[in-house]
Amino acid sequence: MSRFSATIWGARGSIAAPAGPNREFGSDTSCVEVTCGKRTIILDAGTGIVGCGRKLYEAHVNELDILLTHCHFDHIMGLPFVIPLYKDHVSARIFAGHLEDGTSCRKMVERFMCPPYFPVTPKQFAAKIDYRNFSPPETLDLGDGIAVRTVKLNHPNGAVGYRIDYAGRSLCYLTDTEHVPGQPDEGILDLIEGADVMIYDTTYTDETFERHVGFGHSTWQEGVRLSEAAGVRQLLLFHHDVLHTDETLEALEREAQGRFAGAIAARTGLAIEVGADNIPV
């Protein structure tokens, strides 16, 4: 069976968390490395991509795709620190489909990486970079049998969710989306139908959600409801609030597992085989 795996490099949302009380679940913001056969896909470029990029460089990975959900700082701030992007033997594609004002993926990166906000510009990237624009619900064909379906998410300034289908298995990545209580998002339900794994925004709980309406995030309970309705096998709680320490997340994980056996709180270093019966591996 072709390898289809995912490794969490950052599971925090909004801002990196202090290290002391967060040793178990990690401090870095959103980044997930996905391996499909010999291909490497990176979901988001938060601070977690720094360690991911170092690992890819040391492993001599020369080709990669970076799929951005959106360009809020916690999802792109690690991009300037990705070592392979400064190597001329590397080829990389960067995808963005959330921009609603006509800004291109290339222009977004150029605006982010420029003085006075940052001293290094994309002109310093030595890799062969192909900036890709798309509009959800477009399906992206990454080649080698890898298809990526997309969906528009409910988040300030826009965001995109992804479903990666490969070798008869599927992984969905849906972070930075806000649900409407009692009204499941039909676009998300369609995207995740029968998925093996869903990584979902669980920044809040149903009990704390009301005072955060409009912030663009969801709850672990909504993740469970969506998983049950769509027949998702495994649910990874993701985009942890900076105030949710190891102790808090351990308690939330136990509570979620009491409702849905396939639930687990994402943490830095967690590695899973998509479609496997055991999680983590």
The residues, ordered by sequence, that sit 6+ positions from 20 with a Cβ below 8 Å of its Cβ are none
Cα separation values, 239 from 26, 30, 114, 165, 202, Å: 11, 7, 27, 22, 6
The pTM for the full model equals: 0.96
DSSP code of 110? H
State how far the Cα of 279 lies from the Cα of 240, in Å rounded to an integer: 19
Per-residue burial over 41-79, b if 16 or more Cβ lie within 10 Å, else e, is bbbbbbbbbbbbbeebbeeebebbbbbbbbbbebbbbbb
Q: Which residues pair with 103 in a beta bridge?
A: none
State how far the Cα of 123 lies from the Cα of 238, in Å rounded to an integer: 33
State how far the Cα of 260 lies from the Cα of 270, in Å rounded to an integer: 19
Question: Which pair of tokens denotes residue 58?
Answer: 């040391």
Question: Which pair of tokens denotes residue 148?
Answer: 């990526």
Other beta carbons less than 10 A from residue 174's beta carbon: 27
DSSP code of 123? G
| Local confidence pLDDT in tens for the 281 residues of the chain | 689 999 999 999 999 999 999 999 999 999 999 999 999 999 999 999 999 999 999 999 999 999 999 999 999 999 999 999 999 999 999 999 999 888 999 999 999 999 999 999 999 999 999 999 999 999 999 999 999 999 999 999 999 999 999 999 999 999 999 999 999 999 999 999 999 999 999 999 999 999 999 999 999 999 999 999 999 999 999 999 999 999 999 999 999 999 999 999 999 999 999 998 655 44
